[in-house]
Amino acid sequence: LLHGLRSDRRQMLGRARFLRDAGYAVLLVDLPAHGESSGERIGFGLQEAAAVSAAIAYLRAQLPGQPVGAIGVSLGAAALVLSRPSPSPPLDAVILESLYPTIAEAVSNRLDQRLGPYGRMLAPLLLWQLPLRLGVSAGDLRPVAAMPALSAPVLVAVGTQDRHTTWSETERLFAAARAPKALWAVQGAPHVDLHAFGPDAYRALVLAFLSHHLRPAD
């Protein structure tokens, strides 16, 4: 379970509880520079990808022969998709929540929301700083380009009122994904924790998706 930006593994406790009750083993991870993990800089998914691969490898070693799925929220979803190979080791089911398609759109959307339409004019200046601050370029932070590399069945979810990651952007992510795939529009939800927004609907849909693609843990 992979949390969102400026959060930590505790964000995923509600998900962990219902998954455990359904018979799944669960691993909660603090991404780099979050919670109890070391690190000073947030990498918008690319620098966090190594931690995701390490977590998947750990589960594969602890549960040999068992299917492994992942749920990523916002930053966690980006880290999952941007893993190289994508991801490594491979997964058997993936749920991506509130995932940005490109960092350029993510920055522009947030500037627009906070400063109005003229705020978008500042986006190139912020994106120009990425190589200086993080050693990556905007071209490296394009989950939509990495979606076709996901070999696992994927569920893509977003709130219909999310202004950080819009519905049309999510449709592009979904279109880029391989089949089998599913798309869930969470009616009325902004850029929030989708499980907290509607726990009953979330639980029902996620368990149905996972039970179809993963065999329950003994």
**pLDDT, tens digit (0-9, with 9 covering 90-100), for 114-150:** 888 778 888 888 888 888 888 888 989 999 999 999 9
Q: Which residues of 131-151 are buried (b: 16+ CB within 10 A; e: fewer)?
A: eeebebebebbbbbebbebbe
Cis check: omega of the bond before 89, within 30 degrees of 0: yes
Cβ partners under 8 Å of residue 205, min gap 6: 155, 184
Residue 121 lies in a domain: no
State CA 104 to chain mean position distance.
Answer: 17
The CATH number assigned to the domain holding 183 equals: 3.40.50.1820
Instruction: Write the pLDDT tens digit of every residue in 100-115.
Output: 999 999 999 989 888 8
**If pLDDT is split at 50, 70 and 90, which confidence band does 211 have?**
very high
User: Using CA atoms, how far apart are residues 120 and 126, in angstroms rounded to an integer?
Assistant: 10
- DSSP letters for 27-82: --B--TTSTTS--S---TTTTTHHHHHHHHHHHHHHSTT---EEEEETHHHHHHHT
Nearest-10 Cα torsion for 101, 209, 53, 170: 0
Q: How far apart are CA 111 and CA 105, in angstroms?
A: 10
Domain count across the chain = 1
Identify whether 1 is part of a domain: no
Tens-digit pLDDT profile for residues 6-23? 889 999 999 999 999 999
Residues spanned by the domain of 68: 9-101+142-212
Average pLDDT, the chain: 91
Domain assignment present for 218: no
Per the domain annotation, does 112 fall within a domain?
no
Whole-angstrom distance, CA of residue 123 vs CA of residue 141: 14
Position 127 in a domain: no
